[in-house]
Each structure stands twice: as structure tokens, then as C-alpha cells.
Amino acid sequence: MTITPIQSNYIKMPSKQDNHCEFDGIKVLYYISKKEETLPLLYDTLKTSNNEGEICEAIYIADRLTENGVKNVDKLYPALSRFNDTKSPNIQTFLAGIYRKTKVPDAFGPLVKMLIQNSINPPKEPQLFDPNEEIGGAILDYLT
């Protein structure tokens, strides 16, 4: 069974005025309600999108699915792994969060690599999200 994709352009990324992301709540709740049926749609989005907001939203939905006990979210790793070398602090933060919850063994190395790269080449501008905090927490969760 397939679900109907919801087209919504409401994605608000962090700014100096709001230090958080906002996504279309109706869209998010719809996808969460469809549970495992949502995974192929997320996979396709993660595999093809180059839009930072769409990518963060897809990872956020995957995170919420995990929180709601949906199985097989870890199967998104092949699509998620394309962002393992991203420099986007927003994507890094969401990516580390989902890796922390799914604990896909293949994600540990990329998390360490992200942390090292961010330490060697820190962002030149202050960031609203500190990806290193989430990355470090994810690494610690893998080790415990």
C-alpha cells in the first residue's frame, strides 16, 4: 500500500529570530500516522532531495516515527548516508539525532568523522544549532 505524498512548502529553518525548525504539523502527523508506509516516501525524499529544509523535515519525520515505535526506520540508512559528509550544521544535527536512536552500526564511523571535521574546520559564523553536541551525544550512546 502506498500513501499519498503531501505537498507543503511550509518549512522554516533556524534564524536569528527563531533558533528552531518548524515543519508543517499536519503533514508530519499524517506521515507519522501511516507508520511503516511512510518509510518508502522518506527514503525517496532523502535519496533525491538537495533542499536542506526537505532533508531536515524528512529526518525529523523519521525521528518521530522512531519515537512512536515504528520498526525498520534503520533501513533508511542507505539514503541517510549520502549526507554523512555534509557541512550543514542543521542536517548534521538531525542526522546525528536519528543515528543516535537507530544505532545503525555503519553510522558510527561517519559520526566520528563529522566530529573530527567540525573540530578541524569549525564554522566561520556562529551556528544556531551546535551539531557537535548532538554528534558527541550520539557517539556516547553508541559506546554505552
29-51 pLDDT, tens digit each = 999 999 999 999 999 999 999 99
In a domain, 6, yes or no: no
What value does the mean pLDDT of the chain take? 91
Residue 75 CA: distances (Å) to CA of 4, 119, 120, 143 = 21, 29, 31, 21
Check pLDDT > 70 for residue 65: yes
Check pLDDT > 60 for residue 1: no
DSSP-assigned beta bridge partners for residue 23: 11
In whole angstroms, give the CA distance from residue 5 to residue 54. Answer: 13
Domain containing 52 equals 11-143
In a domain, 4, yes or no: no
In a domain, 23, yes or no: yes
Number of domains forming the structure of the chain: 1
In a domain, 5, yes or no: no
pTM given for the model:
0.90
Check pLDDT > 90 for residue 12: no
